[in-house]
Amino acid sequence: MPEDSRQIREAYFNACNFESLMRGIHFAVAWSALTALYTSRAKSERRHVLAFLVLALFIMSTVHMATFWAYVHNAFIIHGDTEDSIAEALDSYPAWFTGTTSISDLNAILADGILIWRTWVIWGYHWFIIVIPVATTILTLVFSIIATYRTVSNTSFGSLGVDYATALYSTSLITTILCTGLIVWRIISITRFSKSLKSYSSIMEILVESCMLYFVATLFALIAYIYSGPASEYASAFWTSMTGIAPTLIILRVASGKARPNDSWRDATPSGISTHSRSSKMPRFMHQHSASDDSRGHDLEDLESFRTTVDPTPTASVEATSFASTHRTPHKGENLVPSFRE
């Protein structure tokens, strides 16, 4: 029991500190996104909507962190007489705490919505791509409402025995897996023939655009919640922070102009190779051969025209010799003066 009590205290204390540090990172990212939205030369018509999303994500994450801090403060300060009293206070979940911290679920739903929007844009505004992610996000909202109401009102909802918190994490993870996989596949399929695929910018594009950090945080949260234990507090703090930071990074990338233009995703081919780029991938000797054939054809036409319009005088022979010598390298002892007779 003393060992379990110590682990519980350490888990909540460290998780609270970790989430507080993540607030600083989130603030820096949110401030950068807002600055980029309103100082960029290209004024987007949607900048007010994106700014609202940035503020909403930051405010809800901050409210969750403040509630969690108040909960930990209540345990360590108000009920800090003994180690057991602290552990007992931390092991109880009052209705005000559960109801307020459920705001992290709304943050996750908003993050899923931004991720779905980015998937829709990257896949050229094809609606069929996001049908399943939209459905799973709706299920996440439903499970969040049921789980919150069930915890606050202590209602069992019959004998179904469904763990709605696990269902919530699962549907959110499905949304994240689908969108992350679709975005990564789209970016790789477009840039796989480009030398910049392994560059720093391409790696950052894949990581940020696909919300990879959010995917990792959701997977970690689901596994930790299923196995329970003190580790779930670390996972919850990390997941709550990523629900705000990861989508804000996407907005920052779009606002700063580092993301590809939206129309370029629609025009891009799945292979990422246009006719021009395919021609540019041809071996050098093929280009030279093609160009040589074209120039040789034009030379013959010019000589034929020259033959029919000009008498074969010595002057004409000298000009023809000069013209032909620019297209061939004479061999030793070879006379390049063309003959105008069949």
Same domain membership, residue 304 and residue 194 = no
Whole-number pLDDT of residue 16? 93
Same domain membership, residue 258 and residue 171 = yes
Which of 276, 311, 337 is a domain's end point? 276
Q: Is residue 239 part of a domain?
A: yes
Same domain membership, residue 154 and residue 62 = yes
Q: Is residue 330 part of a domain?
A: no
Q: Is residue 33 part of a domain?
A: yes
The number of distinct structural domains making up the chain is 2
Same domain membership, residue 311 and residue 190 = no
Whole-number pLDDT of residue 291? 43
Same domain membership, residue 148 and residue 63 = yes
Which of 252, 276, 300 is a domain's end point? 276
Which of 239, 255, 276 is a domain's end point? 276
Q: Is residue 93 part of a domain?
A: yes
Q: Is residue 46 part of a domain?
A: yes
Q: Is residue 117 part of a domain?
A: yes
Q: Is 194 left (phi over 0), alpha (psi -120 to 50) or beta?
A: beta
Host domain of residue 140: 2-276
Residue stretches of the chain with pLDDT short of 50: 157-160, 200, 271-310, 312-327, 336-342
Identity at 299, one-letter amino acid code: D
CATH number for the domain that contains residue 36 = 1.20.1070
What lies within 8 Å, CB to CB, of 85 at 6+ separation is: 79
Per-residue model confidence as pLDDT tens digits over 114-152: 999 989 988 888 899 999 999 999 999 998 888 888 777
Whole-number pLDDT of residue 293? 47
Burial of 114 (0-12, 13-18, 19+ CB in 10 A): buried
Looking at residue 341, what DSSP letter applies?
A: -
Same domain membership, residue 189 and residue 102 = yes
Same domain membership, residue 243 and residue 183 = yes
Same domain membership, residue 197 and residue 316 = no
What lies within 8 Å, CB to CB, of 202 at 6+ separation is: 187, 191, 194, 196
Residues 62-66: contacts with CB within 8 Å, 24+ apart? 62/23, 63/100, 63/103, 64/100, 64/101, 64/103, 64/104, 64/107, 64/240, 65/19, 65/20, 65/23, 65/240
Contact (Cβ atoms closer than 8 angstroms) between residue 92 and residue 132: no
Q: Is residue 91 part of a domain?
A: yes
Q: Is residue 251 part of a domain?
A: yes
Q: d(Cα 64, Cα 71) in Å, to the nearest integer? A: 11
Per-residue model confidence as pLDDT tens digits over 3-16: 677 888 888 999 99
Same domain membership, residue 318 and residue 261 = no
Same domain membership, residue 114 and residue 139 = yes
